[in-house]
Copies of this chain bind each other. A is one copy, B any other.
């Protein structure tokens, strides 16, 4: 069985997904594309040698009888509309983050999906598909370090452009930790706090960098995440879980140990795209396989909602310096495992 996929938005990430579905993954093919820039959509079809039709807009594509499932990789503010339309059409939809630009928007999707009665939405959080995080979760699941008590994280980029603003540390950067730690710990946040260390001289004048976000979960686990987007030395994702009987860490990406020039060293990646490149493959293959099997199971609309609410609390904490509560609605039975 081959899943016929339509792609809304043929920018960088859209093209990446088209390429992997066409050349690397199995069980699906791209049959439809659309973009606000119709020329770009046409160019993508031509360059990637696709046997796909161009649609006038996302809503047309969603309705097409030739399309079984939808990939939403368009501009963030359009996500909610396309996801809701996909649900209305009863078609599975993979939506890159953000699911919607507000928690309320996410909740509308949650409600629509529940009304439909069956899971149709997967949000594009890829870290749960990373081998390293999976191995870490496996360590926890097997009780090898006991119950988790604390998590120490760092999210470091070598540098960001001048357009990166202080709030993006939440919406673009720590949003990944917010999601993956919920999944890793099977827990939700109850409060957040943001503190500002001494600022690096390598950040733009308007940007607070680094920042530290302190979070507490419903189980009482304390999470601290250092966000440092001008760390200069590399793209470096650290995650250490301290449990009752031991400590486990996210593996470093495999690299050739070298002895050279009086140093014993391994490489640290500098390009974030390379860090989780394998995870994207697993993520999209997972979407295809679970849709084909009728048991969609990746990050859900509820996960998108929970991340949005937590991010909103972090944004408030950035401004006030206070410990800000994270108030989620009651989790619907629909989303319980």
- Interface residues of chain A, those whose CB is within 8 Å of chain B, are 22-27, 131-132, 135-136, 138-139, 144-150, 152, 154, 195-202, 210, 212, 214, 216, 219-222, 224, 226, 228, 231-234, 236, 242, 244-270, 285
Contacts and interface: CB of A to CB of B under 8 A. Distances in A.
B267 A263 contact: yes
4 tightest A-B contacts by CB?
A198-B220, A246-B260, A265-B265, A197-B222
A42 B317 CA distance: 62
Given A197-B220, A247-B233, A150 B226 contact: yes
A152 B152 contact: yes
Given A222-B195, A268-B264, A149 B258 contact: no
Contacts of A263: 233, 263, 265-268
Contacts of A234: 259, 262
A252 B253 CA distance: 10
Contacts of A252: 254, 264
A187 to B, nearest CB: 10
Contacts of A148: 198
A260 to B, nearest CB: 3
A230 to B, nearest CB: 8
A48 to B, nearest CB: 13
17 contacts: A23-B27, A139-B256, A144-B258, A144-B260, A147-B200, A147-B201, A198-B219, A198-B220, A214-B214, A226-B242, A228-B242, A231-B245, A233-B247, A236-B259, A246-B260, A251-B266, A262-B268
Contact of A256 (B136, B220, B236, B254): B136
Nearest to A269: B262
Contact of A214 (B27, B195, B216, B255): B195
Please tell me how many copies of the chain the complex holds: 4
A146 B228 CA distance: 14
B224 A224 contact: yes
Contacts of A268: 259, 262-264
B221 A233 contact: no
A222 B232 contact: no
A288 B25 CA distance: 13
Contacts of A270: 262
Contacts of A262: 233-234, 267-270
A153 to B, nearest CB: 10
Contacts of A197: 149-150, 220-222
Nearest to A235: B262
A191 to B, nearest CB: 10
A314 B200 CA distance: 27
B251 A255 contact: yes
B260 A233 contact: yes
B226 A198 contact: no
Nearest to A246: B260
B242 A248 contact: no
A139 B270 CA distance: 17
